[in-house]
Structure 1
C-alpha cells in the first residue's frame, strides 16, 4: 500500500490510499492534475501520457478522476485563507439531458471560489440554500454581498443575514460572472454533462484546483508568478500524497 504524506502545516491528516492500483501514485496524480487543471478531454490526457510512454486508457483516467479528484479537492480546501469579507454571487444556466439547471456560485473579492451548488430552481429557496451553505462553510457572515438584479438574492439575504450589506447591480458583479468562463470552456470540451451529480462532482474538484493554481493578482512580476507556480505544485503534490 502506498500512502500519501503531508506535513502538519498543510492541515491534511487523512491519508490517501493507492492500494490495488497498478500505476504509481505519481502517474495517477499527474493524470488527474492534467484533466482538472487544463481544458483537456480524457482522450487528450490519454494521448499526452502516451507520448511519455505511459499506456493507460481514457476510461481509467476517468475513474481516477472520479475516485481521487474529490479526495484531492478536500485536502486542498483545508488550506487556511484570509477572511472573505465580500461575497460575489451569481448563477448560470446549464442544460443537462435537455433540462435547465442552475449552477449557483460564490466567489470572494479575489475571484477565489467559495462554494457552488447545482439546483433545478432559480428562486428565493435556491438562493437561501446557497447563502446557508456559505455561512456554514466560511464560519462567518461577510461584510457585504454583491449580486445582479435577481430579486431572489435580496429576499434570501433578508431571511438569512439581515444585517449584511447588499449591493445589487449587474455592473458590480463582473467578478462572479467571469468565474463561469473556465467551466464553460470545459463544458464545451466535454460536450456537456450527463447528470446533475456528475456536474456537481466535476465543478467541485475543478474549482478547488483552479483556486490553487490561478494567481489572485494578475499583475505580479514574472518571477513572482514563477515562484507561485512552484509553491502551488508543491501543495498539489502534498494534497495528492506524492511528495518525494
Structure 2
C-alpha cells in the first residue's frame, strides 16, 4: 500500500491531567476545597490525608496554579452575560510584603466581571481591566460607577464613550462590600508570593464566587444538591 493512501489515525485530545501521579478526581477536589473554603494549602493537605491521600501542600499549590485557569476557561461558554451596569474599584493586597492594587469590576447582579492585580494605580491598569472585560465578554455597559479616581474619566472616554460615568458618594458601595469577600478569603493564606500567583488565586476566587452566585449554566442536572461540586466534575471532564 502506498504511504499516501494509508488511513490516518485520529489522536484524541490529551487530558490536562495526563502525567500527574494522582487521578483527576483528587486534584479537582483539592482545588475546589481550596477555592470554596477558607483553607490554606496545609489545611487541604491535612483533609486529603484524613481520606487516605498523602499529598504535600506544595503539590496542592501547584495544582491550584495549574488548574484554576484551565477550569475557568472551560467554563466560559456557560457564563451568563453581565448586566449593563458595572461597578469598578480598586482594593489592596500584600504580595511578598509589598502592597499591590487589585482592580475589580462587578455588575449590578453581583457577577464579578474581571479582576486585575497591578503594581500601579494608573490609567494603564484601568485600561487593561476594561479592555480585557470588553474583549472577553463582548458586552458593553451603558453605565459605569467608579470612585473619584482621576484615571477613570479618560479611560472610559477612550474605551466606552457611550457609557454614562457615574461618580457619587456611596454609589460604589456594592463593590466596596464585595471587596470584603476577597479579603476574608485571603486571610487564612500565609502570604501571596508573586504577582502571577496572586492573579491566579484572586481570579479563582472570582470564578468560585460567580459559580456560587449562579452566574454559570454548567450542569445538566440543575437539581443537584451540590451544584459547585457537580460543576467542577463537569469541567474536569472538559479539560
Q: TM-score range by the shorter chain?
A: 0.7 to 0.9
1:239 aligns with 2:235: yes
Query: What's the secondary structure of 1:190's corresponding residue?
Result: coil
Structure 2 CA distance for partners of 1:83 and 1:194, relative to 1, 3 Å: closer
Larger radius of gyration: 2
Match of 2:197 in 1: 198
- Does the aligned pair in 1 maintain the 2:65–2:197 contact within 8 Å? no
Matched residue, 1:46: 45
Aligned to 2:142: 143
The 1:129/1:170 distance shift into structure 2, 3 A limit, reads: farther
For the 8 Å contact 2:30–2:44, the answer to whether it is kept is: yes
Cα distance, 1:162–1:81 mapped onto 2, change above 3 Å? same
- The number of aligned residues is 220
8 Å Cα contact 2:142/2:163 also seen in 1: yes
Q: TM-score, normalised by structure 1?
A: 0.82
- Residue of structure 2 equivalent to 1:211: 210
**Counterpart in the other structure of 1:172:** 171
Q: Is the 8 A contact 2:101 2:121 kept in 1?
A: yes
Indicate the residue corresponding to 1:118 in structure 2: 117
Q: For 2:121 and 2:19, locate their aligned partners in 1 and report how far apart those are by CA, in whole Å.
A: 44
Deviation at 1:115, TM superposition (A): 0.7
- Runs of 4 or more off by more than 4 Å in structure 1? 226-229
Question: Once structures 1 and 2 are overlaid, which stretch shifts more, 117-126 or 158-167?
Answer: 117-126
* Distance across 2 between alignment mates of 1:120 and 1:105: 14
Instruction: Go from structure 1 to structure 2 and tell me whether the alpha carbon gap of 1:227 and 1:168 turns closer, same or farther (over 3 Å shift).
Output: farther
Shift of 1:77: 2.5
SS at match of 2:133: helix
Greater CA drift, 89-98 or 194-203:
89-98
Q: Deviations over 1:26-45 (max 9, x none)?
A: 11111111011111001111
Deviation string 1:49-91 (CA, Å, 9 cap, x unpaired) is: 1222222221221121122222111112221313421111010
- Shift in Å at residue 214 of structure 1? 3.2
Write the distance in 1 (CA, Å) between the matches of 2:101 and 2:228: 31
Query: Which consecutive unaligned segments of at least 5 residues does structure 2 have?
Result: 1-12, 216-221
Output the CA distance in 2 between the equivalents of 1:54 and 1:124: 47
Q: Which region of structure 1 is more displaced relative to structure 2, 86-95 or 131-140? A: 131-140
Match of 1:6 in 2: none
1:154 aligns with: 153
The whole-number CA distance in structure 1 between the counterparts of 2:160 and 2:210 is 26
- The 3 A distance-change label for structure 1 pair 190 and 214 is same
Which is further off, 32-41 or 117-126? Answer: 117-126
* Cα shift at 1:178: 2.0
